A and B are shown apart, each in its own frame.
Chain A
Amino acid sequence: MVSSIINFAHAQETPNQEWNQFRGVNRSGSADNVQLTSFNEKTPKLIWKKKLGDGFSELTIAGGNIYTMISERQDSITGNEFIAAFDAKTGDEIWRTKVDKMFFDTFGDGPRSTPAIGENNIYSLSSYGKLTANSKKDGKTLWQIDFMKEYGSKIPRWGFSSSPVLVGKNVIVEVGGTDSRAFMAFDKETGKEVWKKGEGMATYNSPVVTKINEEECIIFANGRKVYSLTTAGDTLWTYNSPVSNPTGMPIVFDGNKIFISAVRNPAFIVLEVNDNKAKEISRGTSMKNDYSSSLHHNGYVYGFHVAALQCISVETGEKKWTKRGFGKGSLIRLGDQLMVLSDKGKLIQVKATPEAYTELGSIQAIEGKSWTAPSFANGKIYLRNLTEMACYELK
């Protein structure tokens, strides 16, 4: 509960039940004030299911539309990457605009980054490092910056995957460029460089905008360093982290604590920040997030410990329960329930409680490789696998 009070809808002034960026409002993977009935009592109703170009980008939802990134092959070695808009009611495509060439990979083609929805525009980062602003209305490209060309960034193994965040007049994203251009802010309207900060190659981390000790800040965790910056790009503090290249979102809780997890040992650490100094207060191996993010609720972290759904105490790291069989899935929290999507498209409703793993029902919602976390808006859950998306009514 504390976390939902401390976290605040910063990215935009958005109605609570929209999903306007990676991991939703506040990037916490959670939505409060949601009351759901058990799947066993009322099976979620399929509203629509649509074929979609390849990709792992989350589905962002605002103003009745879905915005996401997709890719489409032209032949076996060429193709294009798009930012696209769909009608949330029907799943029908409204527009698509090419932002880059297609990213091919043995484990799954297409973009990994999730766009951020602004008031009038949408901001995306392509697999080859092109930050683009498009009009929400018709997809028209307003500006584009090529990180590899402009800032000497190098493409990471899985492509540029950081998801941009909107703060005031700026769009902020991991760039991974040379000359202190690890993270940069750009003017939302013009794409003009506003500030640059930090060192390091492009990784897979996405910034979280939060408040720590009531002070607004942006947290980045790239390579082996955690940065806290002001929205103006000034450094508040940095911390040399033992956790290497976390992909999951850092979780800010209790007003001044940060949980950071990655798949390799030491797995997770908890930092406590006082007087703009970060100190490690605990670490453990009981939560190894690979490519999906954990979430925090009432003093406990729920997430995928490699391929086991797990609940741990954020204070002690003690494992409260484990449930296997969902592969390397993903999860979000809706009210007091977890919506868990298995890596093969099974949607499981689970009580968000440390007492015991308590399943309230499940449906085979989509088929095939499902590595993208669900999105939730206005009573509907939106799911995506590598090649299709689906919408289910939960209430």
Chain B
Amino acid sequence: MKLKKLHAFVMFALFLTPSFLSAQTADEIIAKHIKAHGGAEKWEQVNALKITGRFTAFSLEKDFTTYKTKCGAYYSDLYLGEQHVFEGFNGKCGWTIDPWQEIDFARNINTIETNVFKQKAEFFTPFLNYKEKGHQVEFVGKENVDGSEMYVLKLTRNDGKSEKWFLDAKTYLEYKCEASWVDFARPAPAEMYFDDFRNVDGIILPFFVERIFWQRDRITQIENVEINPKVDKSLFAMPKRKEISKLSFMQGDWNVKLEFVGRQGTYQERGTTESCIQFASTNLLQEKISYENYFPNTLSINFTYDATSKKYRIAAFNDFTSTFDMFQGDLNENTLIMEDTHISYSENKNANRTCRQFIYTKIDENQFTVENKISNDEGKNWIPQARLTYTRKTNENLSKK
């Protein structure tokens, strides 16, 4: 009997606690909110959305296209005023090309932007399967906003970032959201307003979204939503810089024939090795190659493009000599010529120094060569030293190494 009383008391006390109250109430509200958006069953069938329409920034209205996927990937091609902006996010990491920042290539987004891209990647409402996503929701209460009663929910995302959502008490659709946004890579508090809800194949979406942060005003007017379109996943990957992309002919797994110049001054075969060349970043192509020329050499070679000098650069580390060397040069059609003639590590000119040159020549999609030459007269005359012939591995002969 005592136990029964105690149980009843505990249940009553639990019922009175705000967390118990809010958990129940929040879930009830969210259930109705999801239903208002077309229902969970309908949304279960949605794997991706292609959204097109008009986007307004700085009072200029331009076309935009956005893709979103169920796994939280996002891509958008839009204009901020006159500037063409691209954004991508794979669910964890993202990138942006934003000429407003006077950067005309893709850069990684910072943590503030990552939080914003997570919001952009949502299928409009973050409350869909919010528990599975690891979010938490707290019912804050009721509030009158612009003359209408609103349910106010505090959403805390799995990364700890929180947002305040105002759902219309009559329709259960979102009216307003207060969240942290970003302006020129810095945090900015934002208010978002949602309107013009329309039915697209059974799901309900806001076709008008206005976002205000600081004095900025951004308006998204949706014109068309395609459910489960064909999505090219490469859209979400950070695009490579245009100039480094020209070295794509070197990307891949290779068999490498080694030839070194002998005492007679002619190339002599010294066996084969393997090389793997991959893009490691938006402006970084990396090669790792080992070979023996009497002694074992392992080279880590980094190719980049320097926009300021408009030159390609190589930073190569040789673990046999334990040195880092720099080379710089140009790509002319199919030939990349890299030299260290313009690179000096000494304030005093060394008349006896030996300069080196590497000539990368594309033969076709499956073959290229690298010629190594030296010069003792600052590049006036070059003397061949070695030649490496790269042949692309086929699926059959890909090394298990």
Chain A to chain B contacts (Cβ below 8 Å), 8 pairs: A307-B210, A322-B146, A324-B210, A325-B195, A325-B219, A343-B59, A368-B60, A369-B60
Q: How many residues of A contact B (CB 8 A)?
A: 22
Q: Given contacts A307-B210, A324-B193, A324-B195, is CB(A344)–CB(B215) below 8 Å?
A: no
Are B61 and A307 neighbours in the complex by a CB distance under 8 Å? no
Residues of A close to B210: CB separation below 8 A? 307, 324-325
* A-facing residues in B166-184 (Cβ within 8 Å): none
Within 8 A of B (CB), among A86-145: 106-107
A255 within 8 A of B: no
Any chain A CB within 8 A of the CB of B296?
Answer: no
Q: Is the CB of A327 within 8 A of B215?
A: no
Bound form: Cα–Cα A186–B172 in Å? 61
State the CA gap A327–B215 with chains docked (Å): 11
B81 and A307 contacting across the interface, CB-CB below 8 Å: no
The verdict on A370 contacting chain B, using a C-beta distance below 8 Å, is: yes
A264 to B216 alpha-carbon distance, docked (Å): 12
Residue contact A325 to B208, C-beta cutoff 8 Å: yes
B73 CB to nearest A CB, Å: 30
Point out the residue from A263, A321, A370 that lies within 8 Å of B215, measured CB to CB.
Answer: A263
Interface residue A328 (Cβ < 8 Å from any Cβ of B): yes
| A126 CB to nearest chain B CB (Å) | 24
Report if A185 contacts B (CB, 8 A).
no
- Given A325-B210, A343-B59, A370-B59: 9 more A-B contacts, CB < 8 Å: A288-B215, A306-B215, A307-B212, A324-B210, A325-B195, A327-B217, A327-B219, A328-B59, A369-B59
Residue B147 CB within 8 A of the other chain: yes
The reply to whether the CB of A371 lies closer than 8 angstroms to some CB of chain B is: yes
Contact B56 A344 (CB under 8 A): yes
B61 touches A328 (CB 8 A): no
Q: Give the A-binding residues of B (Cβ under 8 A).
A: 56, 58-61, 81-82, 146-147, 193, 195, 208, 210, 212, 214-215, 217, 219
Question: Would B59 and A344 count as touching, CB distance under 8 A?
Answer: yes
| Contact call B217/A328, Cβ cutoff below 8 A | yes
In the complex, A319 Cα to B147 Cα: how many Å? 10
CA distance A215 to B345 in the complex (A): 76
Say yes or no for A54: interface residue by CB 8 A criterion: no
CA distance A368 to B61 in the complex (A): 8
Asked if B82 and A106 make an inter-chain contact with CB atoms under 8 angstroms apart, the answer reads yes
In Å, the complex CA distance between A308 and B176 comes to: 14
A290 touches B215 (CB 8 A): yes
Inter-subunit contact A327/B59 (CB<8 Å)? yes
Q: What is the bound-complex CA distance between A207 and B212, given in angstroms?
A: 29
A residues near B56, Cβ cutoff 8 Å: 327, 344
Cα A321 to Cα B146 with chains together (Å): 7
Complex: A39 Cα to B215 Cα, angstroms:
31
> Which residues of A lie under 8 Å from residue B208 when comparing CB positions?
325
The residue on B at minimum CB distance from A288 is: B215
Interface centre among B56, B59, B81 (most CB of A within 10 A): B59
Taking each of B56, B208, B212, B215, which has the highest tally of chain A beta carbons within 10 Å of its own beta carbon? B215
**In the bound complex, CA of A306 to CA of B192 (Å):** 13
Q: In the complex, what residues of A have CB within 8 A of residue B147's CB?
A: 321
Known: A106-B82, A307-B212, A321-B147. A344 touches B61 (CB 8 A): yes
Q: Specify which chain B residues have a CB less than 8 angstroms from the CB of A371 in the assembled complex.
A: 59
- How far, in angstroms, from A252 to B5 measured CA to CA in the complex? 69
Bound together, the chains give a CA A325 to CA B195 distance in angstroms of 10
Residue of A nearest to B147 (CB): A321
Interfacial chain A residues near B82, Cβ < 8 Å: 106
Q: What are the residues of chain B within 8 A of A264 when measuring CB–CB? A: 214-215
Q: Is the CB of B58 within 8 A of A107?
A: yes
A322 vs B195: C-alpha distance in the bound complex, in angstroms? 14
Interface membership of chain A positions 14-32, coded 1 if the CB is closer than 8 angstroms to chain B and 0 otherwise: 0000000000000000000
The CA-CA distance from A321 to B59 in the complex, in Å, is 23
Q: What's the Cα separation between A325 and B196 when bound, in Å?
A: 11
